[in-house]
Amino acid sequence: MTFAGWALILGFVAILIALTKPVGLWLFALYEGRRTPLHIVLGPVERSFYRLSGIDPQAEQSWRRYALHMLLFNAMLMAFTYAVLRLQGVLPGNPQGLPGLSPHLAFNTAISFTTNTNWQSYGGESTMSNLSQMLGLTIHNFLSAATGIALAFALFRGFARRQAQTIGNFWADMTRVTLYLLLPLCVAYTLFLIASGVPQTMAGVVDVTTLEGAKQSLLLGPVASQEAIKMIGTNGGGFFNANSAHPFENPTALTNLVQMLSIFLIGFGLTWTFGKAVGNTRQGWAILAAMTVLFLAGVTVTYWQEAAGNPILHALGTAGGNMEGKEVRFGIAASALFSVVTTAASCGAVNAMHDSFTALGGMIPLFNMQLGEVVIGGVGAGIYGFLLFAILTVFVAGLMVGRTPEYVGKKIESREVKLAVLAIAVLPLMILGFASLSSVLEQGLAGPLNKGPHGFSEILYAFTSAVANNGSAFAGLTANTPYYNWLLGVAMWVGRFFIIVPMLAIAGSLAAKRYTPESAGSFPTTGALWVGLLVGIILIVGGLTFLPSLALGPIADHLAMIRGQSF
Amino acid sequence: MGKDLSSALRPVVVMTILFAALLGIGYPLAMTGLGQLLFPAQANGSLVRATDGAVIGSSVVGQAFTTDRYFQTRPSAAGKGYDGLASSGSNLGPTSQALVDRVKGDVARMRAQGIAGPLPADLVTASGSGLDPDLSPASAQAQVARVARVRGLAPERVAALVAQQTEASLLGDPHVNVLALNRALDALR
């Protein structure tokens, strides 16, 4: 570990903390439906979208209606992308002449992008045409992110409103977030990326004769426009197989820093927006503090392990940190930081191959996802996932003192706790269930590239990533098989919507309650005690569940590594 | 519920079409137009041309160098090595025997070239993309003696060239672009 490495990590966090309030304020304006300066340009677009689709943006929806419209819209988008991918061979915008995708790969990919997972069973450059990347995939990068933020707004309203029957309008939330936040950010971001060396063209392959006289083909395409929303929307699906490790996606150390910042930007801002929405910004800062503690702990472990390197390779005559799967222009610190950022958020973009990390260095990304990606988390999904844990935490605190728990002015009663547990239980059930199944079935065991405990880690990582809607991989796993494509597709769908629906039900139930002012007997939900308790509950409930599986995978792998044993 | 479903149908279908047109067609095409107008070199892949105009590579993407007269690039898992249509890391885990065997082979190759001492980690490991354009300064310096010998140049001149081509970086590690270094090497006389 170096001074420069720690300066990068701490500087990264400092920049984000400085941006939290400005971004939070902007999000709050969208939450409230206020006019922004951008309405001059985009207001007519917004209004024409409502008019053409017959939407009244002022019409408030109950949680059931909000959920129904959100689900139908997402199902429609998924079907749309499935069709685009299947028909790729006959559609235009296909300079490489690539064929349509198989049913299981198209199913997997359509769900993957609809659920903001962006798991890639395919290699971008050898599978996807320019049109598929744009029309099939880029739209989801916007709309799955906008859906996530809209859902967070709905839950915020549940806490903020008093004796109300409604939680907002899905169409208005989703449209405003897309037009006034994601799109303008992406326009500026794309231009920055192009200026830094990311291609943006409709051309395909350029043939090159190298300095040594060999042939090399370079694939170009509309990379920058997809890259921008891939990061801002915590999507993570890269244009190329190697994702943000590819020099065309992430050409310099500066683009790398900006990519990491942009993964967390909205997640940080939303914590402030929540505080503002419930009338006490300290509530938001308390959440951010708990998230930051967990985040820095993860970075420390991964950076330490990667900088220490692999003793098995040291014995062969090499020195230094673990560079397998890493790019020289980023180095150890920026690669370790990126891996923790991308799995703390539900991004899943990678600038280094997690599969080739040291055993414990690679365990942290896995563990981050198993916690449910509540450390900052995906845009929207992170904060609503975190609030489920907050509900659980006040419940536990309430049990200790024998009082009905309250959180930001709402009594938390049996219905909310049951629904929160239901949502939180989805993760271990699906991850451990599917990973166990795949560890005994022949089709599952055909997947891993690596032998020994690392092979099990590859399977565990795949289902963790899918259920948590992350999308990064221990990419040695051969996932483009009917077995993995179908199963991971189901895992992604359940992991997204089986959490969202109980969460919206909580929003509806909270909105209907009356406001309970804080009293001397209320458990304070802003101070250090609260932050400590939150971190504890997240680690115990979210983390301990997975400890046995981690012992079989990364921990066993680590013990083998320090003994110098290979498989 | 039935009325709810039918009332949702129009927004669901129309919004899908509108957003697909705006985000899937309009946005990428507009960005392509702007990018081509403002930054044409980068938007088209930062291509590097020889004096005769032939494209010899991209300044941001790595290409394979395997001969002794050039600074050699890192091992690559992209296709058969530096395949621009198959970017990939090796994905071998820390305890993989295949990784051990590969590194053993590369270490032996380096020793045969006369490189002694502990080898910089990046010199014998595959990058994440398989298209890493760079080497660490240490990995380039380790190859100076060989390159100087094969080319009949003074080692001090080659070492100075490496130092000159090294890009310091506040945000990442210092690195040397191998294509730029080797082109500068060809220009030395």
Residue B2 has pLDDT above 80, yes or no: no
* pLDDT value at residue B189: 72
Dihedral sign of CA atoms A357, A358, A359, A361 in order:
negative
| Shortest Cα–Cα distance, A405 to chain B (Å) | 34
- Between CA B120 and CA A323 the distance in angstroms is 9
Contact state of B186 with A329 under an 8 Å Cβ cutoff: no
- Between CA A397 and CA A390 the distance in angstroms is 10
Decide: helix, strand or coil at residue A362.
Answer: helix
* pLDDT value at residue A497: 95
Q: Are B97 and A567 in contact (CB under 8 A)?
A: yes
Task: Label residue B1 by pLDDT band (50, 70, 90).
Answer: low
> Using a CB-CB distance cutoff of 8 angstroms, which residues of chain B are in contact with residue A458?
93
- Between CA B147 and CA A405 the distance in angstroms is 72
Q: What is the pLDDT of residues A277-286, one digit of tens each?
A: 999 999 999 9
Q: Which helix (H) or strand (E) holds A498?
A: helix A482-511
Contact state of B95 with A80 under an 8 Å Cβ cutoff: no
CA distances from A1 to A146, A368, A533 (A): 38, 22, 30
Q: Does B18 touch chain A (CB under 8 A)?
A: yes
Q: Does B61 touch chain A (CB under 8 A)?
A: yes
Q: Does A324 touch chain B (CB under 8 A)?
A: yes
Q: Between B27, B86, B111, which is nearest A225 by CB?
A: B27
| Shortest Cα–Cα distance, B123 to chain A (Å) | 9
Decide: helix, strand or coil at residue A335.
Answer: helix
Task: Label residue B149 by pLDDT band (50, 70, 90).
Answer: very high
Q: What is the pLDDT of residues A48-97, one digit of tens each?
A: 999 999 999 999 999 999 999 999 999 999 999 999 999 999 999 998 89
Provide the b/e sequence for B42-71 (b: ≥16 CB within 10 Å).
bbbbbbbeeeeeebbbbbbbbbbbeeeebb
* pLDDT value at residue A146: 97
> Using a CB-CB distance cutoff of 8 angstroms, which residues of chain B are in contact with residue A218?
45, 58, 61, 84
Q: What's the mean pLDDT when you consider all of chain B? A: 94
- Between CA A142 and CA A174 the distance in angstroms is 10
Contact state of A199 with B42 under an 8 Å Cβ cutoff: yes
Task: Label residue B176 by pLDDT band (50, 70, 90).
Answer: very high
Q: Does A356 touch chain B (CB under 8 A)?
A: yes
Contact state of A313 with B134 under an 8 Å Cβ cutoff: no
Q: What is the pLDDT of residues A358-407, one digit of tens each?
A: 999 999 999 999 998 888 989 999 999 999 999 999 999 988 888 889 99
Domain residue ranges of chain A, discontinuous segments joined by +: 381-563
Q: What is the pLDDT of residues B87-122, one digit of tens each?
A: 999 999 999 999 999 999 999 999 999 999 999 999
Q: Are A400 and A521 in contact (CB under 8 A)?
A: no
With a cut of 70, list the residues of chain A below it in pLDDT. none
- Between CA A36 and CA A545 the distance in angstroms is 45
Mutate to test the interface with B, among A328, A339, A457 (most CBs of B within 10 A): A328
Q: Between B4, B43, B173, which is nearest A200 by CB?
A: B43
Per DSSP, the residues of A135-181 read IIIIHHHHHHHHHHHHHHHHHHHHHH-SS-S----HHHHHHHHIIII
Nearest to A119 by CA among A463, A388, A405, A385: A463
- Between CA A169 and CA A61 the distance in angstroms is 5
Q: Between A80, A136, A186, which is nearest B16 by CB?
A: A80
Contacts of A201 (CB under 8 A, 6+ apart): A220, A221, A222, B32, B35, B36, B43, B44, B45
Q: Does B105 touch chain A (CB under 8 A)?
A: no
Q: Are A381 and A116 in contact (CB under 8 A)?
A: yes
Residues 158..187 of B with a Cβ closer than 8 Å to A: which?
Answer: 169-173, 175, 179, 182-183, 186
Domain residue ranges of chain B, discontinuous segments joined by +: 2-43, 47-187
Contact state of B65 with A321 under an 8 Å Cβ cutoff: no
| Shortest Cα–Cα distance, B158 to chain A (Å) | 18
| Shortest Cα–Cα distance, B139 to chain A (Å) | 11
Nearest to A37 by CA among A48, A24, A26, A47: A26
Contact state of B171 with A69 under an 8 Å Cβ cutoff: no
Q: Does A355 touch chain B (CB under 8 A)?
A: yes
> Using a CB-CB distance cutoff of 8 angstroms, which residues of chain A are in contact with residue B132?
247, 327-329
Q: Does B75 touch chain A (CB under 8 A)?
A: no
- Between CA A158 and CA A167 the distance in angstroms is 6
